[in-house]
Amino acid sequence: MSPRALFRGLRILHCVAAVGIVLFWIGFYTEVGFPRAVLEKKIPHFDAYYAFEKAFTVPDLVTATAMAIAAPRLLRDPTHRASRALLLAASGGLVFLGLLDFMYDFRNGLYGLDVRFTLELLLVPLVGLLGVGTIAFLAKSAD
């Protein structure tokens, strides 16, 4: 795959991830994607977990906003310096948030609760890997 095609794919994935993050939070607060009554019975210390999850709302939405601004701009002009910097910052946010969420879920046994819930939880580290891939690409293309 050419570097140009790879970067285009990364930009598209950032657009998709930005929308996905917003949809996650809509599902979380409407309980469509986070059925509180069901999960309360499955997750030990649910109140602490729920408070922990809610702490991610603003950082996730700031990161999603940065991606939603930078990635479409970079689809039009891949050399736009400010957008590259913004996408790099958002990618760092994805890595940090993804690792933090993954470690909490892993250490607290949340990956073994239920298949659907586990798959949803595993999307977070995948988005973190998008951040890692983007950082690596932008660092290499800066040469």
For the chain, state the CA radius of gyration. Answer: 16
What are the tens digits of pLDDT across the range 87-98? 999 999 999 999
What are the tens digits of pLDDT across the range 14-52? 999 999 999 999 999 999 888 889 888 888 889 998 999
Q: What is the pTM of this model?
A: 0.90
Contacts of 134 (CB under 8 A, 6+ apart): 10, 14, 87, 88, 91, 94
What are the tens digits of pLDDT across the range 104-143? 888 888 888 776 777 778 888 899 999 999 999 999 987 5
Tokens, residue 115: 């298949």
Question: CA 72 to CA 74: how far, in whole Å?
Answer: 5
Tokens, residue 7: 């970067």
